[in-house]
Amino acid sequence: MARVVVNVPAQAKRGEVIEIRTLAGHPMETGFRRTQLGELIPRDIIRTLICTYNGAEIFRAELHPAIAANPLISFTTVATESGTLEFRWTGDNGFSATQSAAIKVV
């Protein structure tokens, strides 16, 4: 059960810079750790986060090992028009999660 949360202001003025915060529940196993028996724990991380604003990509992040579990990624954009922001996380072992948020621009 992939759990993701986004925080997008419900309303913004046209041209305003808005802050977007995203949180994804994920262990972010680095692939460098070993068990007590010495076996390598396979890597299991989120690889990318892509955010689109009315279909146009506005933000992309590539994630690597040594990023903390449950990564919180925050970024800003300019509110241009009312519509939908869509977020997609993809990662190892077929991890995939999507979330969307509506914004009203006045």
Partner 1 sequence: MKRFAVVIGLLFPGFLLAEIPLAERRSGYEFMSRETRAMQDDEITGPAVLALLDGEALWGKLGCAGCHGDAKASMKGVAARYPALVDGKLVNLEQRIRPKAPALAYESRELLALTAYVARQSRGMPISVAVDEKTKSSLEAGRGFFEKRQGQLNLACAQCHDDNWGKKLSGNTIPQAHPTGYPLYRLEWQTVGSLTRRLRNCLTGMRAELYPHGAPELVELELYLMWRARGMPLESPAVRP
| Interface positions with partner 1 (CB under 8 A) | 1, 3, 5-7, 21-23, 25, 27-28, 68-70, 72
| Of 15 and 35, CB closest to partner 1 | 35
Least spacing, CB of residue 71 vs partner 1, in Å: 10
Cα(87)–Cα(60) distance, integer angstroms: 10
> Which letter does DSSP use for residue 93 in this model?
G
Could you tell me the smallest distance in angstroms from the CB atom of residue 14 to partner 1? 24
**CB closer to partner 1 out of 40 and 72:** 72
Q: Quote the tokens at residue 19.
A: 């802050």
State the amino acid at position 62 in one-letter form: E
Between 19 and 81, whose beta carbon lies closer to partner 1? 19
Separation in Å, CA 75 to CA 42, 85, 91, 92? 30, 13, 20, 23
